[in-house]
Amino acid sequence: MAMMRLRREDPRVVGTFRLHRRLGAGGMGVVYLGSDKRGQRVALKVIRPDLAEDQEFRSRFAREVSAARRIRGGCTARLVAADLDADRPWFATQYVPGPSLHDKVNEAGPLSPAQVASIGAALSEGLLAVHDAGVVHRDLKPSNILLSPKGPRIIDFGIAWATGASTLTHVGTAVGSPGFLAPEQVRGAAVTPATDIFALGATLAYACTADSPFGQGSSEVMLYRVVHEEAQLAGVPDALAPLLASCLAKDPADRPSTLSLSLRLKEIAAREAHGPSGGPLENGSGAGAGWERAERRPSDRPTGQRAEEYARQRTERGAAGTSSPRPHPSRPPAPRDAASRPAGPASAARKNPRKTGGHTGRRAPASRPTGRNGSRTPVRTTSGGRRPGPDRRLLRQRVIVFVVVTLLVALGIAAAQGCQGPARGLGVERPVPVAPPSGGVDGPYGAGEQNP
């Protein structure tokens, strides 16, 4: 969803929410991106000043907010807070990240049948929760559907109304968007769940063709076509055309129910997802979770010279990542049949792995040439340089360990010799033993002394 900077006239704080960006503006007011004190992001809509002065609008708006509080479902934006007595009433819903269906189709073009059916199944489930709460959305259109990573979400219940209510705010004025309104809305009749079914059919037709089923033109022209002309479904895929045509029936009684529509769209989504034009859906953990599908078409594959260049590049990339040499183009490929394989130890190991000890369930490491000292030779890279292999680094580590151990042993021997006593050659005199005072023997050194 596109965001814009706040303008000078825009408020900065509404209720307990701080406003950060503009998300858009509509017939009822301006939608802002806000956050509360806990950092939870919300989409906050502030009602226009002229509508805020209309007491009839305030009372209707209060009933709509009360009805929106009863809606429970994963395919709708949950109502967080609202203030109906403020100078400019406002309400805040859960912020849904992701582009709208209108922006998605406008940028990427029409969606595939599998994507449209998956989105429609999720939206039908969302409408089922809305209708169970006794509410009719009344303004379902591509810009009110957000494609979040978890699936499509229905937003903007600003003009939602209880079942059976009229669609006229004033005499002759219909509420909603031309091209996606049901005929009963244009006539001013009571709205029912079938009113949203008509809008959903027009929305899914837009997703298939990137255009409204009633074309383009002024509001008066579009409303006339909705009431008196049939929908144009020429560009809708055959898998969806009959179902969408029933949704766009003029008589509400001829349209399918919300539950029936959801079941039929799920069947179409499952069939188209595995068909030739669909392919498997991503995030297939629920209806609508696979709207982001990676399409692979046969026309996208390279042919002719592009195919040969692509194959050559793949061969070169594969050869660069392996140590085995690439066969020369002029050499014929080696035979792969069993009769042409030479009989030897390798083949014997494959036949009887227990005797030869060949096959043990693990792949043997690739042999590499070694040098004189048992170290492996440096590996030559694809760029022509040389880098040391892992054995050369291991050899350096062993040499360092050997030198350190040798030094430690030498120091230990020297310390052990020094602890045995002073040596003569170190200049330390040995003590001379002294004879006892009596019974001594006269020697050349004097009486009572012994010859050392």
pLDDT of the residue at 138: 87
Same domain, 19 and 131: no
Q: Is the Cα torsion angle 203, 208, 209, 214 positive or negative in sign?
A: negative
- 358 inside domain: no
Same domain, 90 and 1: yes
Same domain, 79 and 106: no
Contact of 198 with 179, CB cutoff 8 Å: no
For the chain, the average pLDDT equals 74
Among 60-74, 97-111, 219-233, 304-318, the least confident range = 304-318
pLDDT of the residue at 392: 80
pLDDT of the residue at 308: 62
Report how many domains make up the chain. Answer: 2
Which residue did the predictor score with more confidence, 246 or 287?
Answer: 246
Tell me the per-residue pLDDT of 21-45, one tens digit each, with 9 for 90 and over: 998 887 778 999 999 999 999 999 9
pLDDT of the residue at 310: 52
CB atoms within 10 A of CB 26: 16
In 3D space, the residue among 63, 67, 66, 68 whose CA is nearest the CA of residue 79 turns out to be: 68
Q: Is the pLDDT of residue 432 over 50?
A: no
Among 62-71, 199-208, 347-356, 417-426, the least confident range = 347-356
pLDDT of the residue at 62: 84
- 197-227 as b/e: b if 16+ CB within 10 A: bbbbbbbbbbbbbeebbbeeeeeeebbebbe
pLDDT of the residue at 446: 44
Same domain, 144 and 277: yes
CB atoms within 10 A of CB 295: 12
Please say which residue of 293, 321, 343 terminates a domain: 293
Same domain, 106 and 31: no
- 364 inside domain: no
- 157 inside domain: yes
Q: Can you tell me the mean pLDDT for 385-394? A: 63
- The top-scoring range by mean pLDDT among 5-9, 153-157, 170-174, 346-350 is 5-9
Q: Is the pLDDT of residue 443 over 80?
A: no
Q: Can you tell me the mean pLDDT for 425-432? A: 46
pLDDT of the residue at 70: 79
- 445 inside domain: no
Tell me the per-residue pLDDT of 284-311, one tens digit each, with 9 for 90 and over: 334 445 545 433 333 344 445 555 665 6
Same domain, 72 and 183: no
How far is Cα 177 from Cα 180, in angstroms, rounded to an integer? 6
State if pTM tops 0.75.
Answer: no
- 417 inside domain: no
Q: Is the pLDDT of residue 245 over 90?
A: yes
Which residue did the predictor score with more confidence, 427 or 99?
Answer: 99
Same domain, 185 and 47: no
**What whole-number percentage of the chain has pLDDT above 90?**
38
The secondary structure of the chain, three-state, reads: CCCECCCCCCCCEECCEEEEEEEEECCCEEEEEEECCCCCEEEEEEECHHHHCCHHHHHHHHHHHHHHCCCCCCCECCEEEEECCCCCCEEEEECCCCCEHHHHHHHHCCCCHHHHHHHHHHHHHHHHHHHHCCEECCCCCHHHEEEECCEEEECCCCCCEECCCCCEEECCEECCCCCCCCHHHHHCCCCCHHHHHHHHHHHHHHHHHCCCCCCCCCHHHHHHHHHHCCCCCCCCCCCCHHHHHHHCCCCHHHCCCHHHHHHHHHHHHHHHHCCCCCCCCCCCCCCCCCCCCCCCCHHHCCCCHHHHHHHHHHHHHHHHCCCCCCCCCCCCCCCCCCCCCCCCHHHHHHHCHHHHCCCCCCCCCCCCCECCCCCECCEECCCCCEECCHHHHHHHHHHHHHHHHHHHHHHHHHHHHHCCCCCHHHCCCCCCCCCCCCCCCCECCECCCCCC
Q: Is the pLDDT of residue 201 over 90?
A: yes
Please say which residue of 229, 259, 293 terminates a domain: 293
Tell me the per-residue pLDDT of 107-137, one tens digit each, with 9 for 90 and over: 999 999 999 999 999 999 999 988 888 888 8
CA–CA distances in Å: residue 433 to residues 34, 327, 425, 445: 103, 92, 20, 13
Same domain, 103 and 197: yes
Query: In the chain, what's the furthest Cα-to-Cα distance?
Result: 155
**384 confidence band (pLDDT: 50, 70, 90):** very low
pLDDT of the residue at 312: 66
Active site residues: 139
Q: Is the pLDDT of residue 175 over 70?
A: no
pLDDT of the residue at 68: 74
- 328 inside domain: no
* Range 11-18, long-range pairs (CB < 8 A, 24+ positions): 11/46, 14/44, 14/46, 14/90, 15/81, 15/83, 15/86, 15/90, 15/92, 16/81, 17/42, 17/44, 17/81, 17/92
Same domain, 283 and 164: yes
- The top-scoring range by mean pLDDT among 68-77, 168-177, 207-216, 362-371 is 207-216
**318 confidence band (pLDDT: 50, 70, 90):** low
Instruction: Provide the CATH number for the domain around residue 232.
Output: 1.10.510.10
pLDDT of the residue at 441: 42
By residue range, what is the domain housing residue 46?
A: 1-95
Tell me the per-residue pLDDT of 74-114, one tens digit each, with 9 for 90 and over: 688 888 999 988 999 999 988 988 899 999 999 999 999 99
Instruction: Provide the CATH number for the domain around residue 73.
Output: 3.30.200.20
Q: Can you tell me the mean pLDDT for 342-348? A: 46
Q: Can you tell me the mean pLDDT for 4-19? A: 93
pLDDT of the residue at 275: 65
- 168 inside domain: yes
Q: Can you tell me the mean pLDDT for 421-441? A: 47
Q: Is the pLDDT of residue 261 over 60?
A: yes
Same domain, 79 and 224: no
Same domain, 248 and 104: yes
Please say which residue of 57, 77, 95 terminates a domain: 95
- 210 inside domain: yes
Same domain, 14 and 121: no
pLDDT of the residue at 285: 37
**What whole-number percentage of the chain has pLDDT above 70?**
62
Contact of 133 with 189, CB cutoff 8 Å: no
Q: Is the pLDDT of residue 221 over 90?
A: yes
